């Protein structure tokens, strides 16, 4: 079956292909850069990396825009507390975001756009909405009038018919006509960063930035819009209202939402002491690949329960994958071909692809890989895996890694390069031959100190990084 995604908008799983040419136009809500990225954020961003890689695997081009929210209430407060401008303050966390996400191998979107660089676009969009009669001003701020957009609620599947417009229910902020109305432009407050614009001095509300930047770079209708489930309402609902009230065209064809990450069965929070940034996990000695593996192992629409046991199991799973890769590379297989085993490889690849085509079912895709490795190891043990079977097996493993990207160990900047290690291993072999055991032991120790493990086999010395 063809590639398909669950669409929050239609609440069904639909076949996916881009609307124009071969390029997928995609927008994902990026980080609010007021702190280091935490593992909850990271789950959502990692699921979007799998989405990117799977679209590329299926030979689509990508035009992916991600925003950086570099102005909001928290940022303003924190910057004031730190005695910095919002630019200096957010610059630190924007850089840290790319450093951290780079470590877990998230591809950088084609376009990364900062909210503060797009104030003019936001103002123009608000002016367009004003011309369509969808806004009103109150106490220097501009609001979106939900009553002007009858389809409001269509993404979150909320029904507001029972609610009287203008009834001022459920709110203690009486400056709005309707509780659901949301701010597009916030009036300047003393001591806060502001921009002087035709809308008056102030700053943008959060929702408008995504509509303005998405449409600037991707056009009026996106193929995919994605984010965490917490963004469905009101953020994405408001994005739809603002964009569609302006263009009268569907804002996004597919809406993909990633479920939340929990920690040991509970929501993550600083007060519970179960709040982790990626940096916390690195400090505890976990590898970026283990974190990446754990985050991708559960399909994005299922809640992920993060545990340290899970993180250790992820490291073990990666070990199995790498051991298999090493075995494929270094074993001297019996000559010839075993067509039955090539068929087994083809079946595994088909299962892997079908699982990811099915709304990115990563758990099933991994299941197919591990079942295959088990069968391949048995075939190798029994002599049923022949020299000519190696190529397909290796190609399958590389295809897996194109998406999951966990096979290559992260090498620290100070570590030995592969070539250095090869040279030391060769030197050790020569030293052993010359019965210079002092030198050969020394080399083994040097490599062990660099987390390189040697294994002497009939076919020579293999090495791997721990």
Distances (CA, A) of 114 to 33, 67, 460: 10, 6, 54
**Residue 232 or 379: which CB sits closer to Zn ion?**
232
- Residue 303 structure tokens: 């809640």
Could you tell me if 269 and 275 are in contact, meaning their C-beta atoms sit under 8 angstroms apart?
yes
Distance CA 3, CA 171 (A): 43
CA angle 146, 236, 45 (to 5 degrees): 165
User: Quick one: which of 362, 314, 396 has its CA closest to 54?
Assistant: 362
| DSSP characters over 322-349 | HHHHHHHHH--PPSS--HHHHHHHHHHH
* Complex with ligand AMP: residue 305 or 395, whichever CB lies closer: 305
In angstroms, what is the minimal distance from the CB of 181 to Zn ion?
18
For residue 46, CA distances in Å to 23, 112, 319, 339 come to 21, 16, 21, 37
Q: Which is nearer to Zn ion, 44 or 141 (CB)?
A: 44
The answer to whether the beta carbons of residues 285 and 257 sit under 8 Å apart is no
The contact mask relative to Zn ion for 29-68 (x = CB under 5 A, - = no) is x---------------------------------------
Give the residue, chosen from 88, 151, 230, 319, that forms a contact with ligand AMP under the rule CB under 6 A. Answer: 230
Is the Cβ of residue 213 or residue 406 nearer to Zn ion in the bound state?
Answer: 213
Q: Does 80 bind ligand AMP (CB under 6 A)?
A: no
In angstroms, give the least distance from the CB of 391 to ligand AMP: 39
Closest CA to 25 of 50, 60, 53, 69: 60
CB of 33 to Zn ion, least distance (A): 14
CA distances from 450 to 417, 443, 465, 466 (A): 10, 11, 8, 9
Footprint on residues 122-181 left by Zn ion (CB under 5 A): none
Q: Does 29 bind ligand AMP (CB under 6 A)?
A: yes
Q: Does 228 bind ligand AMP (CB under 6 A)?
A: yes
Strands 261-263 and 12-15: unpaired
- What's the closest the beta carbon of residue 235 comes to Zn ion, in angstroms? 6
Residue 32, binding choice from ligand AMP, Zn ion, none, Cβ under 5 to 8 Å by partner class: ligand AMP
Q: How many CA atoms lie within 13 A of 448 on its CB side?
A: 7
Helix (H), strand (E) at residue 142? strand 141-144
CB of 227 to ligand AMP, least distance (A): 4
- Binding residue (CB under 6 A) for ligand AMP from 268, 326, 388, 407: 268
Rounded to the nearest 10 degrees, how much is the dihedral formed by the CA atoms of 333, 338, 340, 343?
A: 80
Q: Note whether 142 and 184 are within 8 A (CB).
A: yes
- 66/63 Cα distance (integer angstroms): 10
The site partner of 210 among Zn ion, ligand AMP, none (C-beta below 5 to 8 Å per kind) is Zn ion
User: Does 26 participate in binding Zn ion (rule CB under 5 A)?
Assistant: no
Residue 28's H or E segment, with its range, is strand 23-28
231 binds ligand AMP (CB under 6 A): yes
Whichever of 256 and 355 has its CB closer to ligand AMP, that residue is: 256
Judge contact between 262 and 303, C-beta under 8 A.
yes
Among 6, 7, 40, 296, binds ligand AMP (CB under 6 A): 40
Residues 178-217 within binding reach of Zn ion (CB under 5 A): 210
- Applying CB under 6 A, the span of 12-20, 115-123, 254-262, 422-430 interacting with ligand AMP comes to 254-262
Q: Identify which of residues 232 and 447 has a Cβ nearer to Zn ion in the complex.
A: 232
Q: Which does 327 bind (CB under 5 to 8 A by kind): ligand AMP, Zn ion, none?
A: none
Q: Which one of the spans 28-36, 213-221, 315-323, 451-459 is the region binding ligand AMP (CB under 6 A)?
A: 28-36
Under the binding rule (CB under 6 A), the answer on residue 41 touching ligand AMP is: yes
Q: Does 8 bind ligand AMP (CB under 6 A)?
A: no
44 touches ligand AMP (CB under 6 A): yes
Sort 354 into a burial class: Cβ within 10 Å, 0-12 / 13-18 / 19+.
middle
Give me the residues that bind Zn ion (CB under 5 A), please.
29, 210
Q: Write out the residues near ligand AMP by the rule CB under 6 A.
A: 29, 31-32, 40-41, 43-44, 69, 227-228, 230-231, 258, 260-261, 268
């Amino acid at each position: 079956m063809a590639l398909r995604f669950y669409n929050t908008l239609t609440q069904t799983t639909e076949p996916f292909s881009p609307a124009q040419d071969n390029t997928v136009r995609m927008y994902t809500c990026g980080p609010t850069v007021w702190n280091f990225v935490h593992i909850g954020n990271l789950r959502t961003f990692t699921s979007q990396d799998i989405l990117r890689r799977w679209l590329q695997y299926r030979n689509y081009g990508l035009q992916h825009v991600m925003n950086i929210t570099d102005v909001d209430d928290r940022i303003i407060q924190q910057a004031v507390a730190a005695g910095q401008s919002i630019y200096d303050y957010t610059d630190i966390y924007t850089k840290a975001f790319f450093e951290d996400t780079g470590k877990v191998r998230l591809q950088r979107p084609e376009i990364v756009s900062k909210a503060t660089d797009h104030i003019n676009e936001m103002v123009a969009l608000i002016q367009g909405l004003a011309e369509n009669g969808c806004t009103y001003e109150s106490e220097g701020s501009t609001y979106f009038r939900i009553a002007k957009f009858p389809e409001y609620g269509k993404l979150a599947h909320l029904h507001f018919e029972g609610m009287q417009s203008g009834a001022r229910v459920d709110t203690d902020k009486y400056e709005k006509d309707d509780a659901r109305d949301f701010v597009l432009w916030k009036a300047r407050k003393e001591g806060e960063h502001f921009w002087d614009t035709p809308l008056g001095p102030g700053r943008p509300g959060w929702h408008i930035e995504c509509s303005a930047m998405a449409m600037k770079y991707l056009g009026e209708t996106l193929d995919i819009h994605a984010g965490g489930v917490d963004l469905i309402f009101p953020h994405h609902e408001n994005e739809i209202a603002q964009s569609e009230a302006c263009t009268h065209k569907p804002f996004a064809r597919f809406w993909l939402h990633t479920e939340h990450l929990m920690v040991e069965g509970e929501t993550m929070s600083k007060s519970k002491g179960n709040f982790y940034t990626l940096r916390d996990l690195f400090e505890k000695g976990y590898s970026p690949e283990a974190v990446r593996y754990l985050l991708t192992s559960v399909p994005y629409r299922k809640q992920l329960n993060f545990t340290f046991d899970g993180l250790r199991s992820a490291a073990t799973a990666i070990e199995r994958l790498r051991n298999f890769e090493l075995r494929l590379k270094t074993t001297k297989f019996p000559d010839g071909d075993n067509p039955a085993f090539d068929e087994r490889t083809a079946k595994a690849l088909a299962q892997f692809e079908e699982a990811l085509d099915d709304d990115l079912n990563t758990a099933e895709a991994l299941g197919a890989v591990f079942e295959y490795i088990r069968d391949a190891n048995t075939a190798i043990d029994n002599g049923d895996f022949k020299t000519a079977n190696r190529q397909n097996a290796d190609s399958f493993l590389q295809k897996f890694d194109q998406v999951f990207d966990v096979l290559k160990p992260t090498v620290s900047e100070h570590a030995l390069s592969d070539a250095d290690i090869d040279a030391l291993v060769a030197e050790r072999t020569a030293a052993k031959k010359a019965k210079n055991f002092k030198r050969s032991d020394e080399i083994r120790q040097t490599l062990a100190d660099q987390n390189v493990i040697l294994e002497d086999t009939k076919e020579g010395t293999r090495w791997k990084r721990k």
